[in-house]
Chain A
Amino acid sequence: MEKINNNTFLRKLKNSKSGRFSLIIIFLFFIIAIFGDFLSNEKPIFCVHEGTSYFPIFNSYAHECGFSNIKHPDYTKEWREIEFEKVLWPILPYSGYTTDLKNKFKSPFQEKIIVDGFGKHPFGTGALGKDVAAGIIHGTRIALLVGICSMFIAGIFGIFLGGIAGYFGDNKIKLSWIHMLLFLPFLLLGIYWAYISSFNIGHAFWQLLIGKLILFFSLFIPLAFAEYLCSTFNIEKSLSLPLDLILMRLIEIVNSIPGLLLLFALLAVIEFPSVWTLIIIIGLIRWTTIARFVRAEMLKLREIEFVQSAKVLGLSSLRTIFLHALPNALTAVTITIAFGIASAILIEASLSFLSLGVNEDTMTWGKMLSYARQKPSAWWLAIFPGLAIFLCVYSFNNIGDILSKKSD
């Protein structure tokens, strides 16, 4: 079996032209996402005003982390209206939400009203004169954040469930009737104690923690007891737990509801949507693809000698699954995650295009595209954000595709 590590991945990508192109594009997007505040911001990077020097961008970072107060030379004015002795502006002196009321809906080639050097909008402006290029830069961060974090959540669920279901299948976990007799009632009781009947123990955090502990023990103790009874009285384990069947039904339930309709139903429940609720929702929907892939890989892997020999050596099942078998399913996982990031970015873009999901003042690619619907003549609003979505989605899809091709 081919030994798989990051080097083979990178080599595979570097060997094809489109793979190199995709890697470069994704690298650029990452740079833009990380250093976006220094590329486009309404605050200067560095300035000197009346003898005092300021680092406004770093200052706002420190303020967000709670280290320092906001320092502003003149609170009555916008940053760009202040006269500095020395100043270093970002390449684009606008944030995604900065308005420029003199230049509303200006195309890239149209003549703009420039005041004190401000007003050059290379990609044009949208409603209220918001700069398109700045919007794209700030949207990059949201797109990558949603894509990667939601796939992280989906990956945890998918790998865990798919790995376990694929390894144990329908009839590997054998239980006796004693297990069933003890386990099922205590499972229900545990959930009841943990979540419905409340024990009043002061702080809410402790209550939550104690609930979890009660659930854990009410599952663990009956199981251990049943195991003990089985081994002392030699009771035959004749029932099998159909883990695989259960997982496949669960996947079918999630997959049967058409994508956007399921998202609508989930968004209906959320009162205050933000980027993080969106990430959790996408993660909860997209784990099924990863689980299916990992399960299919696991079905193949569990028959291979080294997994069998791990079993013969007496390693525990969980150890065999997660330390011996799963690292060999890494290619499959990487491929689905690459495709998954692309689809998560698409979902985020289409939701914010419909002005659902993220809250109002977050600038995203989809939201910029929706401005084009308000003013159909503004072609630059339709083309540039769409191009950013296309490039990002294409690159991630392409990486997944190249990795899924068999190596020579």
Chain B
Amino acid sequence: MLRYILIRVLYFIPTLLGISLVVFFLSKNTPGDPVDKFMDEDLDTFESFESRQKRRAAIVKDLKLDRPNFYFGIKKDRNGTYPILPKLQWHGLNNQYHNWFFGFLKGNFGNSYFDRQPVTDRIWSSLKWTLLINLVSIFLAYAIAIPLGVFSAGKEGSMFDKITGLILYALYAVPAFWIATLLITFLASTDWLYWFPAGGVGNLDNGFSNWQIFKNTVWHLTLPIFCVTYIALTFITRQVRASMIDVLSQDYIKTAYVKGLNKNEVLWKHGFRNSLFPLLTMFANILPATIGGSVIIEIIFSIPGMGRLAYDGLLQQDWPMVFTITMLGALLSLIGNLIADISYTIADPRVSFSKQSK
């Protein structure tokens, strides 16, 4: 088992490197010149070509864009063409990729192209909102899905099972952004019911008590959390039901019935406990999925989370923001998958590596 866990952790590194290479490659191919965004063009005063070039060079140096892209490169000929046999050139560790990737690992995410401030603080605070919404939603989804799944597995084929199955199945096809739009239309507009705010997280000033701030935040986050919960709910319920049906067909469940235990005791004590492990480890797999799903919910409800920040970055052509958040999302989901696999191995040591990867 220890060997499996070690191998699993070692696999984490090449995947992360692969993702960082893909993201870096994309970030180098974005349209537009980043230096232009840092040149303060003043059309009223005349600026000589030389001084412009000098200013440009200073910005390039400041952004470290004069460094080579990667650890090694291919050298050009003297007349600027590539020779038939390539000449490799080693650039050393002070290159753009190295600086970017290790800066990312150290938590230094670079400067925004839009307001030129370091993006680190904004990204950390956005991570807080995203994690808050997702964790609360997943918790709620579990709290609803477990009883639903267990009861519909216990009464497999009954009316209750069929109806919940049908409703959840239909809900699975309902896009979350449609639900969000409908909720805003009917519950958060002055024309219909005005029960909830249409967006924002309700930043209150310091003058309010903690209880008021908490109440206000809950009031603002109810609709978005409902939407994210509903994304996770349909999936978790189906998994709970499938996992329970699997357990309920085992011999010891029949033994428990023959022993004369009542149905609820069999379901919860013997059935549910044994189907618990895959459900708990599933949590780590669900987190990345809901983070992906909550992006659009954050945008609709104007919550300053990761999704909103990445979207704004995309519209403002603020590439460091977009690509840092992409990396961060990938890192989160990699860690989630790692935790899921490891906890699954600890819960069920029979899992071997080859079986897992299937």
Residues of A whose CB lies within 8 Å of any CB of B are 189, 192-193, 196-198, 248-250, 252-253, 256-262, 264-271, 296, 299, 342, 346, 349-350, 353-354, 356, 366, 369, 372-373, 376-379, 382-383, 386, 389-390, 393-394, 397-398, 401
Known contacts A258-B295, A346-B175, A393-B175: does B358 contact A265 (CB below 8 Å)?
no
Give chain B residues whose Cβ lies under 8 Å from the Cβ of A189: 86
B319 at the interface (CB under 8 A from A): yes
Does the CB pair A249–B18 fall under 8 Å?
Answer: yes
Which of B83, B173, B295, B326 has the largest number of chain A CB atoms within 10 A? B173
Residue of A264, A296, A373, A376 near B311 (CB, 8 A) is A264
24 contacts between A and B (CB under 8 A): A189-B86, A193-B84, A196-B74, A249-B11, A252-B15, A253-B18, A256-B330, A256-B333, A256-B334, A258-B333, A264-B314, A265-B326, A267-B314, A268-B27, A270-B31, A353-B296, A373-B184, A376-B184, A376-B198, A379-B192, A386-B175, A394-B170, A397-B172, A398-B169
- A50-B330 Cα distance, complex, nearest whole Å: 66
Which single residue of chain B is at the shortest CB-CB distance from A265? B326
Q: How many A-B contacts at CB < 8 Å in the complex?
A: 155
CA distance A221 to B165 in the complex (A): 58
Q: Name A261's contact: one of B190, B198, B325 (CB within 8 Å).
A: B325
B189 closest partner in A (C-beta): A376
B177/A353 in contact, CB under 8 A? yes
Q: Is the CB of B26 within 8 A of A268?
A: yes
With a cutoff of 8 Å between Cβ atoms, the chain B residues found around residue A261 in the complex are 292, 295, 306-307, 310, 325-326, 329-330
Closest to A380 in B: B185
* CB-nearest residue of chain B to A373: B181
User: In the complex the two chains form, is A260's CB within 8 Å of B295's CB?
Assistant: yes
Smallest CB–CB gap between A256 and chain B, Å? 5
A192 to B292, Cβ gap below 8 A?
Answer: no
Q: If the complex has contacts A197-B86, A249-B18, are A390 and B29 also in contact, measured as CB distance less than 8 A?
A: no
Interface contact A376-B188, CB-CB below 8 Å: yes
B357 within 8 A of A: yes
> Which residue of A256, A264, A350, A379 is within 8 Å of B288 (Cβ)?
A256
A253-B22, A258-B291, A377-B189 are contacts. A268–B30 as well, Cβ < 8 Å? yes
A-B pairs with lowest CB-CB distance, top 3: A258-B292, A197-B82, A377-B191
* B191–A354 touching, CB < 8 Å: no
Task: Say whether chain B's binding surface is mostly helix, strand, loop, or mixed.
Answer: helix
Contact of B82 among A196, A262, A393 (CB under 8 A): A196
B residues contacting the other copy or chain, number (CB 8 A): 65
Contact among A252, A260, A389 with B175 in the assembled complex (CB-CB below 8 Å)? A389
A23: min CB distance to chain B, Å: 16
CB distance from B197 to the nearest CB of A (A): 12
Please pick, from A198, A264, A271, the residue contacting B310 in the complex, using a CB distance under 8 A.
Answer: A264
Q: Which residues of chain B have C-beta atoms less than 8 A from A197's C-beta?
A: 81-84, 86
Min C-beta distance of B69 to chain A, whole Å: 13
With A252-B15, A268-B322, A382-B182 given, is the CB distance from A390 to B175 under 8 Å?
yes
State whether A369 and B178 are in contact (beta carbons under 8 Å apart), knowing that A261-B325, A264-B326 are contacts in the complex. yes
CA distance A305 to B333 in the complex (A): 40
B300-312 interface mask toward A, CB cutoff 8 Å, 1 = contact, 0 = none? 1000001100110
Residues in B whose Cβ lies below 8 Å from that of A369? 177-178, 181
Is A372 within 8 A of B185, CB to CB? yes
Known contacts: A376-B184, A377-B189. The answer to whether A260 contacts B172 by CB under 8 A is no
- A269 close to B19 (CB less than 8 A): no
Q: Identify the closest chain A residue to B288 (Cβ).
A: A258
Contacts of B299 in A (CB 8 A): 354
Say yes or no: A249 contacts B15, CB within 8 Å: yes
B97 at interface, CB cutoff 8 A: no
Q: Is the CB of B173 within 8 A of A393?
A: yes
Would A269 and B295 count as touching, CB distance under 8 A?
no
Select from chain A the residue with minimum beta-carbon distance to B188: A376
Partner among B18, B82, B181 whose Cβ is within 8 Å of the Cβ of A386: B181
Query: Do A354 and B311 touch (CB < 8 A)?
Result: yes
Q: A268-B314, A354-B296 are in contact. Are A386 and B182 (CB under 8 A)?
A: yes
B73 to chain A minimum Cβ distance, whole angstroms, is: 10
B322 touches A265 (CB 8 A): yes
Taking CB atoms and an 8 Å cut-off, the chain B residues in 114-170 that contact chain A are 169-170
| B323 CB within 8 Å of chain A | yes
Closest chain A residue, CB of each to CB of B22? A253
Taking CB atoms, residues of chain B closer than 8 Å to A262 are 326
Which chain B residue lies CB-closest to A200?
Answer: B81
Assess the B300–A373 pair: CB atoms within 8 A. yes
Given contacts A259-B292, A260-B295, A354-B311, 5 further A-B contacts (CB under 8 A): A253-B18, A269-B26, A356-B314, A377-B192, A386-B181
